[in-house]
Amino acid sequence: MGFRQSVLPYIASILICLCAVILAFTGSFGFAVAGIFLAALALVTTRKLLEKIATANEQACFLDEKLVQSQKLASIGELSAGIGHEINNPLAIISQETEWMQHILKRIGEKDSKEVTELQDSLKEVLHQVDRCREITQNLLDFARRKDPVFQEVNVNKLIEDLSRLVEKEAILHQIEIRRDFQQDLPLVHTDAPSLRQVVLNLLTNATHAVQKDGKIRIATKSSQNGSVDIIVEDTGCGIPKDHLVKIFDPFFTTKPEGKGTGLGLSICHGIVDKLGGRISVSSEVGKGSTFVVTLPVNQQRGTRPS
């Protein structure tokens, strides 16, 4: 609060007090009491009003800062997306040229000399490093996509069905079955569809990686009476040991071999679900499989979570 704002109420109340004293000396005691009461009231009211003005000013400054911050983040996001996309294309060419060299080496390297073996080893390493770069660009693109959610009425069953079809194409190649178990009268959910797609796609992809050939994945939806909707992704995979379960949503925690996973997928999912006002939980048994449950409020109010 500024100097003028803190002094002004006192000056106003002193003036009223002075009026009261003058009135007392002129013999109007009742007016004097009333004057003092008014002075006290003026002091309290003015202070309250000024406090409100100060809070509003602070809030305006905060919003300005937030706006600048979000504009900065948006620029970083655009830059990251640009870098990610532009790097992917030359990476594709490096990868192809390396494969072409491997092909030529196979043709000429029938004698299997030491040099040829070394060259083959080097080219294999180039491809390995290309894979690493691909992971990095993918993370940059994921980061760029992290925008403020736009809440709309979403048909969750349809959203999941579309994604299941997408993942099924890959799953069929490994004889993995994706079983749908949707509640038919599921209410529309007030949420951000692109963010929810990212979460469900991540859970489904993880499930296909967890189950071996001939495994099963069940994706289900159900609503509960407390105004929330559950999305359940269940797999018959290898399961997660108890000591890993507590760290599963930590950034950079991964059980995949080096270079195969960044350990950011579930952490990003956790962040998104939190932003959508929901929660994500996991239960698992080693050797039997895992179940991930995303609980979302049907009517999202900022900052509220389903109980």
Partner 1 sequence: MSGKPKVLIVDDEERFRTTMAKLLTVNGLEVTAVGSGKDALEELKAKPYDVITLDIRMPGMSGLEALAEIKKVNPGIEVIILTGHASVDTAMEIMKLGGYEYLLKPTSTEELMNKIDAAFERKLTREQKTRKGEGS
Q: Using CB under 8 A, list all residues that contact partner 1.
A: 84-89, 91-97, 99-100, 103, 127, 130, 134, 137-138, 141, 145, 162-163, 165-166, 169, 173, 194, 197-198, 201
Alpha-carbon distances, residue 83 vs 68, 92, 131, 146 (angstroms): 22, 14, 16, 16
Please, what is the minimum distance in Å from the beta carbon of residue 3 to partner 1? 53
- Please, what is the minimum distance in Å from the beta carbon of residue 127 to partner 1? 8
Nearer to partner 1, 197 or 216 (CB): 197
Q: Are 238 and 287 in contact (CB under 8 A)?
A: yes
Q: Closest approach of Cβ 86 to partner 1, in Å? A: 8
In the block, residue with structure tokens 């790097």: 87
> Using CA atoms, how far apart are residues 274 and 136, in angstroms rounded to an integer?
24
Q: In whole angstroms, how close is the CB of 49 to partner 1 at the nearest point?
A: 49
CB of 193 vs partner 1, minimal distance in Å: 9
Q: Nearest approach, Cβ of 201 to partner 1 (angstroms)? A: 6
In the bound state with partner 1, the residue whose beta carbon lies nearer, of 84 and 215, is 84
Beta carbon nearer to partner 1, 145 or 244:
145
Strand, helix or coil at 152? strand
Q: Which helix (H) or strand (E) holds 67?
A: helix 29-108
56 vs 79, beta carbon nearer partner 1: 79
Q: How far is the CB of 41 from partner 1 (least distance, A)?
A: 59
Exposure class string for 239-268: b at 16+ Cβ within 10 A, else e: bbeeeeeeebbeeeebeeeeeebbebbbbb
Greatest CA separation for the chain? 124
Nearest CA-CA partner of 236 in 213, 256, 215? 215
CB 236 within 8 A of CB 174: no
Residue closer to partner 1, measured from CB, 197 or 244: 197
Nearer to partner 1, 49 or 92 (CB): 92
Q: How far apart are CA 306 and CA 189, in angstroms?
A: 13
Is the Cβ of residue 59 or residue 96 nearer to partner 1 in the bound state? 96
